[in-house]
Amino acid sequence: MSALHYPVHWLQRRDLLYRPNIADWQVGIAISNTSILCLPFITQYTGFRGEISCTDPTLQIGKLYMRELVTYIERVPRTKSCSRWKKADILKNLPLPLREAVNPTSWRKCYTLQDIDACMSRVQVMGFNEKKSVFGSLTVTCCSSGYSLGSCNWIIHSEYEKICYISATSTLTTHPKPIDQAPLRNSNVVILSSLTQTPLTNPDSMIGEFCVNAAVTIKNGGNVLVPCYPSGVTYDLFECLSGHLDSCGLSTVPLYFISPISDSTLAYSNIFAEWLSTSKQSKVYLPEPPFPHAELLSLGRLKQFTNIHDVQNDFKCPCVVFTGHPSLRIGDVIHFIELWGKSSANTIIFTEPDFPYLDALGPFQPLQMRVCYCPIDTSLSFSQANKLLKDIRPQHLVVPESYLTPPTSVTQRPDLVINADLSPMSYKQGDVITLPVKRKFECIEIDPKLAATLEPIEVKPGSAITMVNATLVVRDNKYVLQPLNPEDKLAKPFKPRTYIYGTINCKTFVDLLAKQGISDVKLEETEEKAIIELPNDDILIQVENGSTHIMCGGDESVRVKIRDALLQCLQKL
Amino acid sequence: MSEITITPLGAGQDVGRSCILVTIGGKNLMLDCGMHMGFNDDRRFPDFTFITREGRLTEHLDCVIISHFHLDHCGALPYMSEMVGYDGPIYMTHPTKAICPILLEDFRKITVDKKGETNFFTSEMIKTCMKKVKAVNLHEVIQVDDELEIKAYYAGHVLGAAMFHIRVGQQSLVYTGDYNMTPDRHLGAAWIDKCRPDLLITESTYATTIRESKRCRERDFLKKVHDCVENGGKVLIPVFALGRAQELCILLETYWERMNLNIPIYFSLGLTEKANHYYKLFISWTSQKIKQTFVQRNMFEFKHIKPFDRSYIENPGPMVVFATPGMLHAGLSLQVFKKWAPSEQNMVIMPGYCVAGTVGHKVLNGAKKIEIENKQFVEVKLKVEYMSFSAHADAKGIMQLISWCEPKNVLLVHGEAAKMDFLKTKIQQEFGIECFKPANGETVTIETQHNIPVDISLNLLKREASLKGLDVPDPKKARILQGALVMRGNLQLVDPDEALRDLGIKEHNLRFTSTLCIDEAGPAQKLTEKIYMLCKNHMTDQQTQIGSDGSISVSDVMVTTSGEDDDPKSVLVTWSHQDEELGSMLMNILRSELPIVTD
């Protein structure tokens, strides 16, 4: 894989691009620092016109990630681009993994710095638990997912339905604000994704192992190389490693942090107090910087450089170097492998789980350098995910197909799956699935003037009913019922309908007729039927259970009298 | 009809001691809990006995909201929560939560340690009080309980200042605290969306002023400072540790750099220095420009401004000193003022509002001899300048905020009564909405009217849309909806037939058949045609048809003619009760237009 393939790899991991009609999307959502990376492809190259929302840290740090990526790629410009190998007949003869590449013709060149700015200027910033209305019919909120600064889970709800998207989430205590579970409860559908990529390792013990390996290497006079991203777990690595080195009496060992955006990410980490864990937050109240790396920086133990060329002047070995890119295809990390790879005293420690480390090292072989693999993935493990699901109890669960069977490498671990008790629906790349959400009710508002005219009738204990004839006003997808305008009452389609119900007591009916002056009445009653005859007016009334038929001559005045008497025997709505 | 009641315990037709009690949707809230700088006795704090004569406040209040860290908005908080007694939640933004305890502690020190007052809150009380504080983020919707929710908006005034939108069910109100509608050198402008609250409670410090542009004021300020130091004078700028101090520091710092000046600028140690740290850590609450450039250069790391030492007061030569507190009522600024006031060369610049009763207020009013504690008099010869740098919205800004959030009522607080009158008239004229200005202890009740929310079945709603043949709803065309409102615990609007079926009610089917005897010869079909034409002509808006069996249908009313060619014909008109109107109308037409045989 060449460096250019790197961003495409990301695209394939994210399911965003696989909807054919992306230009028609009305809303897009960005989740966390790393999943925002392909956003410029969507905003700049697909005709996507919708709104994009994310949290402030996601916007700022995501932008820095993009800038780092683009800077790295632009440092090694390519004059030639070859695409003929992508043809199906050639492709099938190529070795793995190229042979299995998914749709390589859709692979794109990386975006530019201009694209990043244009893309980011369209993003709207949201805070945790901020309610954002989408066309009046939906509300979107995000709540902390505890994975990284500003990372969040998304909740889309209407008045009666709720869908949650659980993305990169962590229940561990690191630097970000802890996961907020309460908003995820009682949802109709939960879509679960981004579980740990290293289900067999525990991030806590890996961080310990990382520190020990680094310290041992330093003690033996070697250097430590850590390929990393410029934010996220890297902050925790600074904190843990410096503490561990102190306890080993290695406080003088310098830590170098080299990235085109190292200054920005360290500066930003200081100002996101609202998005940090309580213990980090309380430091800001003192006022002290929330992360210990601020102090390391001012003491000169941690040194940041935006360019490898700036390092030369005061580069002291043995040391620990944190630099990108963890794929080992771009960035300053390549220079350090070349520099230190020949000595077995040095160690390269992989902590990012995103790339298979042996493949990453492939082109650099043979290497004398010691290689350690301590993947630190703080996202939910299967057992943590099952525990979370048990707590939030969604009606329906949607997960990627791969979560339903144990990973191929460890088929003997049946616990590494999502609990089948919730009978999850599954999806795979490219699927379009329909979520099992059935809407039954919508919210409508009744104008108080209209409400004042309504007179509900109690038809059963605890149940009252009234008929409503009103003007329906729809604005911003909000429905309001207002009193009818006088002209509407005359308009053609309006036919106010009255509902009558009840059983007729023929005796009462006859009495009422008498009151109207109709006294010449013959009543014949049987079990299920009554016939009332008014011989004077040549009128016949048939009363049955649930229906009445009045047959009369042309004299309207009599008919109206009978009608009114009959209606008095019935209830009206 | 429901209502919102408001009682200011402080800041009613007054500036200082902001404390407003609100009852909305059955919830009681306290908005701000401030102290009055102008008083040293009981009047310093709001009169909490208004809430309850004895016992704690916890059961009487659902929550307390603090808008920003100025003492006239939070100074009484430990007194209220620890000495009167309140254990419920107190909400404020992160920067306010960070800075507020420091200012409270400073206030306590001046009052207890310097002035020797007893029966005042202790450091321990400030700590316990702050433990009850819950920090809020901008735009985050916080559910105080099942019904009450609050949301903070950026207010600009000082670091962390917020306006609060408070909602219970459909009732809502916005409390602005202090706010600023024009961005300044270090903070952004207040912003709120069109939330259409029932009530807007707004400050009105500058109710009658429309201030000239900020640039002019800044240029004026710099020129005055520069002129004074050039003539060898000393400039004293009394400030509060946080807020204006930082804005003016940035202003002077950039000016000094541009003009290449090396006259010393000092700010008083401790508080102000610490304050700068807060600004550095809460950069996200400052202005857009500072946020964008902070990685390259943090604006709050000053090159030209150095910490002040008390001994510098006696130093010869020109200098500029920022000293706390801002109203010259105590502390270092007063000390410096005492020393410098007798020289004509020197200058004091008051960059903000001074509460009546303070030395600052007297100086501004041109007093030439001022008593400063214990019959010590100071002659005031130095130049006195007032620069309105305090970041409050002016009349224009207040009107702008009203037009942004579109409230149904406005209530003015935190201003002087006479000025409020002017603004009140203006608001009533321009927006045509009610405007109130209660004095302290005076209760205002505002009636609110809201639509009643109901669940409507989607089937009914969709049918109404499709009846009109509209795929896309046309907002200009009114649609008519007929439904049954069913009350069974909740309110549901459903299809009438469905509702009746659900309730087990069977509709009574009432039909009428009227027989008319018509004296007309010829085939029955001829009469049918005649009736058909009659119906068509008289009832143009109804669907009239002749069926294959010779019967006429006018909408749902049926007319059948029968009889031999030479005999009078009988005409049967049949309709159901729902078509009563049409049926009787048709009867009248037939009876008046046709030759009826009567017995």
Residues of A in contact with B153 (CB under 8 A): none
10 Å Cβ neighbour count for B509?
Answer: 15
Q: Is B506's CB within 8 Å of A550's CB?
A: no
Q: What percent of chain B has pLDDT over 70?
A: 95
Q: Within 13 Å and on the Cβ side, how many CA atoms surround A38? A: 21
Residues of A in contact with B464 (CB under 8 A): 472
| Per-residue confidence (pLDDT) for residue A18, from 0 to 100 | 35
Q: Which of A463, A549, A551 sits opposite B486 (nearest CB)?
A: A463
With a cut of 80, say whether residue B312 has pLDDT above it. yes
| Per-residue confidence (pLDDT) for residue A83, from 0 to 100 | 80
Q: Are residue B414 and residue B527 in the same domain, yes or no?
A: no
Q: How far apart are CA A532 and CA A524, in angstroms?
A: 6
| Per-residue confidence (pLDDT) for residue A495, from 0 to 100 | 64
How many domains is chain B built from? 4
Q: Is B493's CB within 8 Å of A444's CB?
A: yes
With a cut of 50, say whether residue A143 has pLDDT above it. yes
| Per-residue confidence (pLDDT) for residue A190, from 0 to 100 | 93
Q: How far apart are CA A361 and CA A72, in angstroms?
A: 18
With a cut of 90, say whether residue A511 has pLDDT above it. no
| Per-residue confidence (pLDDT) for residue B516, from 0 to 100 | 84
Per-window interface: B 548-577 vs A, CB < 8 A:
577
Q: Which residue carries 């009740």 as its tokens?
A: B445
Q: Which residue has the higher pLDDT, A490 or A138?
A: A138
**CATH number of the domain encompassing residue B261:** 3.40.50.10890
Residues of B in contact with A141 (CB under 8 A): 141
| Per-residue confidence (pLDDT) for residue A1, from 0 to 100 | 26
How confident is the prediction for chain B on average, in pLDDT?
87
Q: Is A472's CB within 8 Å of B464's CB?
A: yes
Specify the DSSP element, H or E, that contains B369. Answer: strand B369-371
- Compute the C-alpha angle A48/A52/A58, nearest 5°: 130
CATH of domain A203-373: 3.40.50.10890
Q: Is B493's CB within 8 Å of A492's CB?
A: no
CATH of domain A136-194+382-438: 3.60.15.10
Q: Is B490 on the interface with A (CB under 8 A)?
A: no
Q: Which of A117, A472, A478, A539 to probe the B interface (max B CBs under 10 A)?
A: A472
**CATH number of the domain encompassing residue B45:** 3.60.15.10
Per-window interface: B 91-110 vs A, CB < 8 A:
94, 97-98
Q: How many CB pairs under 8 A join A and B?
A: 240
Range from A315-324, A355-364, B113-122 carrying the lowest mean pLDDT: B113-122
Q: Is B481 on the interface with A (CB under 8 A)?
A: yes
Domain of residue B546, residue span: 511-598
- Crossing angle of helices B244-259 and B214-230, rounded to 10°: 60
* Residue at B42: amino acid letter: D
**CATH number of the domain encompassing residue B568:** 3.30.530.50
Convert the pLDDT of each residue in A441-468 to its tens digit: 889 999 999 988 888 888 888 888 998 8
Q: Which of B138, B483, B509 sits opposite A547 (nearest CB)?
A: B509
Q: For the residues A522-540, what does the mean pLDDT come to?
A: 81
pLDDT band at B472 (very low <50, low <70, confident <90, very high): low
Q: Are residue B204 and residue B312 in the same domain, yes or no?
A: no
| Cross-strand pairs, B385 | B349
With a cut of 80, say whether residue B168 has pLDDT above it. yes
Nearest CA in chain A to B151: A130
Convert the pLDDT of each residue in A84-99 to its tens digit: 888 888 888 888 777 8
| Per-residue confidence (pLDDT) for residue B331, from 0 to 100 | 80
Q: Are residue B21 and residue B116 in the same domain, yes or no?
A: yes
Q: Are residue B106 and residue B157 in the same domain, yes or no?
A: yes
Distance between B429 CA and the closest CA of chain A, angstroms: 27
Answer whether A496's CB lies under 8 Å from A469's CB.
Answer: yes
With a cut of 80, say whether residue B355 has pLDDT above it. no
**Which residues belong to CATH 3.40.50.10890 in chain A?**
203-373
Q: Which of A56, A479, A551 sits opposite B456 (nearest CB)?
A: A479
**Which residues belong to CATH 3.60.15.10 in chain A?**
136-194+382-438
Q: Are residue B473 and residue B338 in the same domain, yes or no?
A: no
With a cut of 90, say whether residue B584 has pLDDT above it. no
With a cut of 70, say whether residue B203 has pLDDT above it. yes
| Per-residue confidence (pLDDT) for residue A462, from 0 to 100 | 85
| Per-residue confidence (pLDDT) for residue A128, from 0 to 100 | 93
Q: Are residue B40 and residue B151 in the same domain, yes or no?
A: yes
With a cut of 60, say whether residue A505 has pLDDT above it. yes
With a cut of 70, say whether residue A564 has pLDDT above it. yes
Task: Pick A501-572's CATH classification: 1.20.1410, 3.10.620, 3.30.310, 1.20.58.
Answer: 3.30.310
How confident is the prediction for chain A on average, in pLDDT?
85
Q: For the residues A524-553, what does the mean pLDDT come to?
A: 83
With a cut of 90, say whether residue A292 has pLDDT above it. yes
Residues of A in contact with B137 (CB under 8 A): 127-129, 274
Q: Tell me the three state secondary structure of residue B396.
A: helix
Q: Tell me the three state secondary structure of residue B479.
A: strand
Q: Is the peptide bond before A366 cis (omega within 30 degrees of 0)?
A: yes
Q: Are residue B434 and residue B462 in the same domain, yes or no?
A: no
| Per-residue confidence (pLDDT) for residue A114, from 0 to 100 | 94
**Which residues belong to CATH 3.30.310 in chain A?**
501-572
Q: How far apart are CA B154 and CA B134, in angstroms?
A: 17
Q: Are residue B7 and residue B52 in the same domain, yes or no?
A: yes
Q: For the residues A186-215, what does the mean pLDDT come to?
A: 92
Q: Is A484's CB within 8 Å of B480's CB?
A: yes
With a cut of 80, say whether residue A206 has pLDDT above it. yes
Q: Are residue B496 and residue B520 in the same domain, yes or no?
A: no
With a cut of 50, say whether residue A22 has pLDDT above it. no
Helices (H), A150-308: 203-219, 233-247, 262-270, 278-284, 292-299
Q: For the residues B270-286, what does the mean pLDDT come to?
A: 81
Residues of B forming the active site: 203
Answer whether A10's CB lies under 8 Å from A62's CB.
Answer: no
10 Å Cβ neighbour count for B190?
Answer: 27
Q: Is B278 on the interface with A (CB under 8 A)?
A: yes
Task: Show Cβ contacts of residue B197 under 8 Å, excluding neighbours closer than 6 positions.
Answer: B165, B172, B173, B174, B405, B407, B408
Q: Are residue B492 and residue B549 in the same domain, yes or no?
A: no
Q: How far apart are CA B174 and CA B195, in angstroms?
A: 9
Convert the pLDDT of each residue in B433-447 to its tens digit: 999 999 999 999 999
Q: For the residues B379-393, what does the mean pLDDT come to?
A: 83
Answer whether B573's CB lies under 8 Å from B513's CB.
Answer: yes
Q: Which of A6, A42, A8, A41 is nearest to A27 (CA)?
A: A42
pTM for the structure as a whole: 0.86
Per-window interface: A 244-263 vs B, CB < 8 A:
263
Q: Are residue B312 and residue B186 in the same domain, yes or no?
A: no
10 Å Cβ neighbour count for A410?
Answer: 12
Distance of CA A353 to the CA centre of its chain: 22
Q: Are residue B280 and residue B352 in the same domain, yes or no?
A: yes
Nearest CA in chain B to A159: B455
With a cut of 50, say whether residue A516 has pLDDT above it. yes
